[in-house]
Amino acid sequence: MKMPRKLTIANLPTNIEHLKRLSSELGNVDIYLKRDDQTGTEVSGNKIRKLEFAIAEAIDNGYDTLITCGAVQSNHARATAAAAAKIGLKCHLILRGSSEDVFEGNYFLDGLFGASIDIVGSEEFKNIDTLLKAKQDELESKGRKGYMLPIGASNGIGGFGYFHAMNEILEQEKTLGIHFDAIVTTVGSAGTFAGLLYANTLVKNDAIVYGINISADREYFAGETKKIIAEMNEYTGENISLSYDEIPIIDGYAGRGYGLSNKEEIDFIKYIASLEGVALDPVYTGKAFYGLYNEIKKGNLSNHKNILFIHTGGIFGWKAEQRDIIKNF
């Protein structure tokens, strides 16, 4: 099978930890955490795995600038800015926000790493593809060559980051003497989920890869997953195709929507932090792990014994309103 080239930027392989106290509380199940929040400091989180493949493609085709987008506290945008600085490329970010956004967290780090940043409102951001292309054309007019990355680097080339991660997990299973019968990840733009699902299907691993969406709904992300898998086939020459029913997305935990938290979610993040010394984030892992916890409590995953949750990072993305919920306990 053909595999695209990748760079080596992330600290890999990431550790797998057993959440002993949580597992004991839940009973009859062992919960493990794949620490992809520890892929690095500046590049921490899941996005750098995708970027290792995408940036290699950009370099191989003579691009000198990475152009991407996201919310003002986007982990992907920050990882792209950091990776670009490490590699020696320029970076331009188009971020959804406003002049009232505090220059903190990921947004601050974007600037620290030297990225050029355009802040646009929500309505304008709906035309993000047009905005990205316009920026690419602007750079071309100045003699530069801009490589466009979608939100979350969630496309065919980015999907190989978690194809690679699945192979890493299978090797770690041998070392640990454990077989994970369920692997669970957040679905925020579908790239991580699609990459895991693609590899799991290709190698005929008998684990079920579950996604828990933290925005939109199952139908939307099943469509996005199918699209990314089709793009991955173009690189590998394989013909992996899954029906909607073969894409296990657990819906119902998006809460108030993307980047918005309710007290129950923040309470749960605080609970896990004090129980296991693990910091989840309010946008992605907090919602998804809260979903996993509740699905186990409801008995919906009772057929699984060893469950691996992918901690995709996000520690820099806490906003003041979310921090205030914890401060006011």
* Active site positions, annotated: 74
Token couple for 98: 């406003």
Q: Which of 194, 289, 175 is nearest to 246 (CA)?
A: 194
Concatenated DSSP letters of 93-149: EEEE--TTS-S-HHHHHHHHTT-EEEEE-HHHHTTHHHHHHHHHHHHHHTT--EEE-
In 49-86, which positions are buried (b, 16+ CB within 10 angstroms) versus exposed (e)?
bbbbbbbbbbbeeebbbbbbbbbbbbbbbbbbbbbbbb
Q: How far apart are CA 53 and CA 66, in angstroms?
A: 13
Q: Measure the CA dihedral 313/314/315/316, to 10°.
A: 140
Angle at 162 between CA 71 and CA 60, to 5 degrees: 80
